[in-house]
């Protein structure tokens, strides 16, 4: 394993503020490198962040992602070892999950298993949390399986929901938790995989 670099592909559909924090965190890391940013949206602001950081990008098409080979050959060519979903809105196809078993993780802006599933993204999540009168919310980092927001949970952190909160203030609190925890949890998860398998391939 020594001298081997673990290459991450970051998948993001929108702003990419988490992607930006992850890129920053692993910049100069001794053996983990963000090698590729993947987006389904050619206008996604995340692409500016990645090109600013000199990281290659890949815009994927629905046709090839779902009905084709899910770009598995491209990821292998680019030596991608680990996939991180950071605000990626498409469901990951089974072919890709099978090509990267236990090596795809996602972050969800609530405490799963509550407030997850199809349609539960962005503000919809925070609105649902507020409408349910929850006193706490938080983040969940989990492995990706074939169902939305369903795979084994790796990490959770929580924050209070107050009477004054609206979807915007709650989103901001959640983002702060994400920025703080997501990069080191990615690092720890990769280190565990490397420790268990002895290699990343």
The binding site for ligand GRF (CB under 6 A) comprises: 12, 14-19, 86-87, 107-109, 174, 178
Least Å from the CB of residue 58 to ligand GRF: 17
d(CA 173, CA 156): 14
Nearer to ligand GRF, 107 or 111 (CB): 107
Task: Calculate the alpha carbon distances from 57 to 36, 74, 90, 92, 177 in Å.
Answer: 6, 12, 17, 18, 26
Least Å from the CB of residue 8 to ligand GRF: 15
User: Helices 167-197 and 123-131: crossing angle, nearest 10°?
Assistant: 110
Least Å from the CB of residue 14 to ligand GRF: 5
Residue nearest to ligand GRF (CB): 87
Nearer to ligand GRF, 16 or 93 (CB): 16
CB 3 within 8 A of CB 200: no
Active-site residue list? 108
Nearer to ligand GRF, 31 or 156 (CB): 156
CA proximity to 178, closest of 19, 13, 9: 19
Nearer to ligand GRF, 18 or 50 (CB): 18
CA 137 from chain centre, in angstroms, equals 18
Least Å from the CB of residue 3 to ligand GRF: 32
Q: Reduced to 3 DSSP states, what percent helix, strand and coil does the chain have, rounded to the nearest 5?
A: 35, 20, 40
Question: Residue 197's CB: how many other CB atoms inside 10 A?
Answer: 11
């Amino acid at each position: 394993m020594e001298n081997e670099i673990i290459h991450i592909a970051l998948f993001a559909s929108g702003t990419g503020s988490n992607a930006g924090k992850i890129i920053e965190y692993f910049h100069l890391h001794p053996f983990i490198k963000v090698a590729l940013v993947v987006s389904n949206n050619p206008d996604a602001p995340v692409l500016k962040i990645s090109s600013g950081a000199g990281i290659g990008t890949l815009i994927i098409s629905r046709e090839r992602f779902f009905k084709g080979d899910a770009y598995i050959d491209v990821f292998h060519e680019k030596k991608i070892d680990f996939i991180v979903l950071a605000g990626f809105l498409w469901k990951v196809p089974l072919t890709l999950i099978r090509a990267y078993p236990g090596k795809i993780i996602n972050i969800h802006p609530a405490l799963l298993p509550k407030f997850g599933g199809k349609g539960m993204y962005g503000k919809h999540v925070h609105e649902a949390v507020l409408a349910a009168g929850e006193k706490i919310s938080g983040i969940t980092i989990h492995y990706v399986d074939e169902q939305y927001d369903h795979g084994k949970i790796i990490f959770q952190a929580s924050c209070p929901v107050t009477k004054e909160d609206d979807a915007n203030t709650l989103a901001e609190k959640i983002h702060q938790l994400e920025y703080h925890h997501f990069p080191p949890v990615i690092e720890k998860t990769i280190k565990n995989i490397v420790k268990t398998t002895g290699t990343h391939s």
